[in-house]
Amino acid sequence: MLWNSALVAIGGFFGAIARFGVSNWIKQKYPSSFPIATLLVNLVGSFLLGYMIGKGWNASWNLLFGTGFMGAFTTFSTFKLENVTLYLNKQWKLLILYLLASYMLGILLAFLGMKAAGM
């Protein structure tokens, strides 16, 4: 049990650092009122998690990379907050685009990740 917690913590540490770095880089390179950084991070995460599942990794690798790294790299809470912000600012087109792109592309990329892994 302690080992499993350590795997999740280690993966989470590196996932959070990776998300912070990637998100900041995207925001600097592509400044916009559209939450492109969160969208791209979550889409990459969907593909990678699908790939990992498709590879059928053992429980330890799933804890380290799936639960730990990918759990911290991707973000559901920021995604929801950005949707609420777009709603409150009455940016309807961006809100609909963000929702559709996140859900539709996220599911598609998870499926493609599984296929790329040979599942």
Binding residues for Na(+): 71, 74
> What's this model's pTM, rounded to 2 decimal places?
0.91
HSE on the CB side for 68, CA within 13 Å?
Answer: 20
What does the mean pLDDT of the chain come to?
96
The domain limits of the chain are 2-116
Average pLDDT, integer, range 87-102: 97
Task: Give yes or no for residue 33 having a pLDDT over 90.
Answer: no
Q: How far is it, in rounded angstroms, from Cα 13 to Cα 21?
A: 13
Of 80, 82, 76, 88, the closest CA to residue 34 belongs to 82
CB 113 within 8 Å of CB 49: yes
Helix, strand, or coil (residue 58)? coil
- Annotation: binding site: 71, 74
**In this predicted model, what pLDDT tens digit does every residue of 34-84 receive, in sequence order?**
999 999 999 999 999 999 999 999 999 999 999 999 999 999 999 999 999
State the average pLDDT over residues 98-118.
Answer: 97
